[in-house]
Structure 1
Amino acid sequence: MDPSKGGPAYSVRESSSILAARGHDVTVLTLDDAAHPPIDPRSLNFLYIPIGKGIGGFSFNIKYFFWLVSNRSRFDLTIIHGIWQWPSLAYRLARKSADKFIVMPHGSLDVWDRDVKKAKFIAKKLYWRFVELPLYRTAQNAFFTAEDELIAAQSQFTFSGVSGRVVPYGAVSVGAPRKNILLSDRYTFGYMGRIHEKKGIELLLDVFAKVVNEFPEARLRIAGTGAKDYVDFLKNKCQILNISKKVEWLGNVHGVTKHHMLTSIGLFVLPSFQENFGLAVAESLSVGTPVLLSEHVNVHKRVSAYSAGIVSGRTFDEFYAAMHCWITNPDLYQEFRDNSVKCFDNTMSLHKHVDCIEGVL
């Protein structure tokens, strides 16, 4: 439930809130720190149980298992979020055959770095075959957030007997849509999300440096946090590229600050190596700010279908051409703004995701 953990934590928190508002009794069991939970349970409209952190990378916590054994029968439906760690195995060990449940891997079956970390990928294939696959085969549904995510999972792991289903997924709007995109906004680009090598920020900085050489007015705003060593590496890269004064590091943004950040940029940019959904993409579109995505962001087909932004390959030349196209084609701005809101409302609203959960009950 920790807001700093990105999209899956956000999805659980917001979808649970929507379900509770619709009259369902919702309980969220997590491995969050029991003594210092990241969210005040009193601020929520559902029951939030931070049972305590697990041990090691696998997050083993025997209290989590015993809570499931004692309480699982109280629920009409259980949703298992995530994979590769103790919670999904604990549920498999605790459940009875009559229990109704959904599994949702949140992109973790699309292993983007498998060619680099081959031994880890082989270990995941073995763990999937003997631990996760039996759970997935007995689930009512395995929810995937985009067709590309499901295809990637099926291409990398054995999927016979799994009832995989693509469901709407998204966000709640972060505020009122902007009325227009000013001509001056075309020079301001933004990124919001986890600061991680997977996100392609190094490519973004390289391309942005060339954009600055041609358009000195250009600015880049980066919101989010990550490992200190990697953030320091990126900031040092900015110095080497001589763009430090053009790049603003905002840290985590929330509420009004997030809305202001997204409506003060002309184009949201996400050049990820792999992105299961892209929560920040949905939030950007919700306020009428178009997006520039790599073709490895799984919602890129929705963005293209609605003409709500630009989809690019991940080479330097392709991404530079896309950013250059944005700056030099102001006639796109209002069309993209209007289409961004339509794209969000029709394909990325979290309320439609909750409809699918209710459909399994």
Structure 2
Amino acid sequence: MDPKEGGVCQAVRTIIAGLTTRNIYSEVVSLDNAESFFFKADQFTVHALGRGKGPWRYNKRLTPWFVTNLSYFDKVIVHGLWTYMGFSLQKAIKALSSRKEEKIPKVFVMPHGMLDPYFQRAAGRKLKALRNVFYWKFIEHKLINSADGILFTCEEEAALAKLPFKPYQPKKTYITGLGVEHPPAYVDEMRIEFESRCPQLDHAPYLLFLSRINEKKGVDLLLDAYLSIVESVEGNPSSGLAGLLPKLVIAGPDLESEFGKKIQSQVDGHHLLRKSVIFTGMLSGLSKWGAFYGCEAFILPSHQENFGIAVVEALGCAKPVLISNQVNIWREINEDGGCYVFNNTIDGTRKLLESWGQSSYKTKKMMSKNAFYSFTKNFSTIPATARFVDAISNQN
């Protein structure tokens, strides 16, 4: 449930908030330490059993907890794949099945993009991809194919999930979407908090990248494409590209990772990037919303994005989004006119930047309106919660 781990934990919190409005009570069991700071603001019950060991997140307390507590619940939602959590749940259900008096709840799985073929094809993941093949064959297919339903966040995710593994034979699949709560209304404190994190911006216009500093997110593509444009301007001021680009703010955790250090070195090593690219580290609360509300547009040229909560948060702030066609919700946003979308390549990312920079003031204002319209129509919590409840309630 640590926000630094990515969007799944935020999805869990948003889903629970929506279910609470429908008088549906939720509890969470997680493999985190009970004293973790990120639980302090949660209004729901969390059973934190302690950190799991290794990449599988093994925890000997988990299966006994399931055996003791599962019968108290009507539905169980497994969020994510490839960890001990799903295997442990299967073990517990098998143990409970031998006790005729025990009620076994309906089980649903929400993969959150973890069946995307990208993870089997990406360079640098050959060993992990091979591990997944064996894990699927002996363990994970049992969870997917025995669950009462698989819950997908969009049509694209459901289509991609059919590709990488066999046998893939879920009983039922549902497109529930994923709601995101309306951003808080803008207040000046948001701008003040954000500016305190990057005073070197000095009130200049900027594009916002807000995500983990990870190769999957395409931040290296973004820097290469951005640099190619600023170098063109430097070498040929009359090229028509002058004044095209605002500054670039890169916000997110993992700057201390090997990839994060590489990205920072790339910026530090080029005088044109040093003048225009600002790293803020992870933003949250007022500073995060200040970054969203203050930007011209949000950019994420990701190689794989199952949903993209930050993309939707930007839409909720009426900000156009510049995204790759590997962000699975691009079709919904594009249909409403709230984005520019191109391939997840350097050339595609350059086209994102150029398209925005060459857009007229009138076009940008219209895209802002369309962005907010797309948020309310497709991604706010009310319609998403309704779809989620319908899916888990269609089981007798």
TM-score (normalised: structure 2): 0.84
* Per-residue CA distance 1:108-131 (angstroms, 9 max, x = gap): 111424233334223212211321
Tell me what 1:239 maps to. 268
Distance 1:49 1:57 in 2: 20
Verify the 8 A CA contact 1:221 1:250 in the aligned structure 2: yes
Distance 2:316 2:33 in 1: 32
Verify the 8 A CA contact 2:15 2:179 in the aligned structure 1: no
RMSD: 2.0
Per-residue deviation at 1:354?
Answer: 2.4
Unaligned residue ranges in structure 1 (runs of 5+): 179-184
Does 2:252 align with 1:221?
no
Does 2:342 align with 1:281?
no
Q: 2:295 aligns with which of 248, 262, 265?
A: 265
Alignment of 1:192-211 (within 5 A): 192-211=210-229
Stretch moving more, 255-264 or 68-77: 255-264
The percentage of counterpart residues that share the same residue type is 28
Distance 2:24 2:170 in 1: 30
Distance 1:66 1:187 in 2: 54
Distance 1:269 1:69 in 2: 45
Distance 1:109 1:38 in 2: 31
* Per-residue CA distance 1:38-95 (angstroms, 9 max, x = gap): 3244x33211111101111111111111111000000011100111000111111112
Q: Which amino acid aligns with 2:330?
A: H
Distance 1:78 1:71 in 2: 11
Per-residue deviation at 1:2?
Answer: 1.2
SS of aligned partner of 1:340: helix
Q: 1:319 aligns with which of 349, 369, 372?
A: 349
Per-residue deviation at 1:147?
Answer: 1.7
Distance 2:377 2:106 in 1: 29
* Number of equivalences: 353
Per-residue deviation at 1:186?
Answer: 10
Distance 2:261 2:310 in 1: 23
Distance 2:128 2:350 in 1: 34
Distance 1:253 1:154 in 2: 36
TM-score (normalised: structure 1): 0.92
Stretch moving more, 209-218 or 227-236: 209-218
With over 3 angstroms needed to count, the CA separation of the structure-2 counterparts of 1:112 and 1:161, relative to structure 1, is closer
Stretch moving more, 16-25 or 6-15: 16-25
Per-residue deviation at 1:212?
Answer: 2.9
Tell me what 1:18 maps to. 18
Verify the 8 A CA contact 2:15 2:178 in the aligned structure 1: no
SS of aligned partner of 2:61: helix
Stretch moving more, 20-29 or 185-194: 185-194
The runs of 4+ residues in structure 1 deviating greater than 3 Å are none
SS of aligned partner of 1:133: helix
Tell me what 1:181 maps to. none
* Per-residue CA distance 1:260-303 (angstroms, 9 max, x = gap): 10111111111111111111000000000100111111011011
Q: Which amino acid aligns with 2:52?
A: G
Stretch moving more, 309-318 or 18-27: 18-27
Tell me what 1:135 maps to. 143
Tell me what 2:27 maps to. 27
Verify the 8 A CA contact 2:320 2:367 in the aligned structure 1: yes
Does 2:176 align with 1:167?
yes
Larger Rg: 2
Distance 1:299 1:176 in 2: 25
Q: Which amino acid aligns with 1:46?
A: F
Q: Which amino acid aligns with 1:49?
A: H
Distance 1:177 1:307 in 2: 23
Distance 1:88 1:161 in 2: 15
Tell me what 1:106 maps to. 112
Does 2:164 align with 1:156?
yes
With over 3 angstroms needed to count, the CA separation of the structure-2 counterparts of 1:186 and 1:105, relative to structure 1, is farther
Tell me what 1:8 maps to. 8
Per-residue deviation at 1:165?
Answer: 2.2
Unaligned residue ranges in structure 2 (runs of 5+): 98-103, 188-202, 234-241
Verify the 8 A CA contact 2:14 2:179 in the aligned structure 1: no
Verify the 8 A CA contact 1:29 1:50 in the aligned structure 2: yes
Verify the 8 A CA contact 2:32 2:49 in the aligned structure 1: yes
Q: Which amino acid aligns with 1:224?
A: G
With over 3 angstroms needed to count, the CA separation of the structure-2 counterparts of 1:33 and 1:195, relative to structure 1, is same
Q: Which amino acid aligns with 1:80?
A: V
Per-residue deviation at 1:187?
Answer: 5.2
Stretch moving more, 322-331 or 284-293: 322-331
Distance 1:358 1:4 in 2: 28
Verify the 8 A CA contact 1:272 1:297 in the aligned structure 2: yes
With over 3 angstroms needed to count, the CA separation of the structure-2 counterparts of 1:109 and 1:168, relative to structure 1, is same
Per-residue deviation at 1:177?
Answer: 7.1
Verify the 8 A CA contact 2:116 2:160 in the aligned structure 1: yes
Q: Which amino acid aligns with 1:191?
A: F
Distance 1:262 1:121 in 2: 35
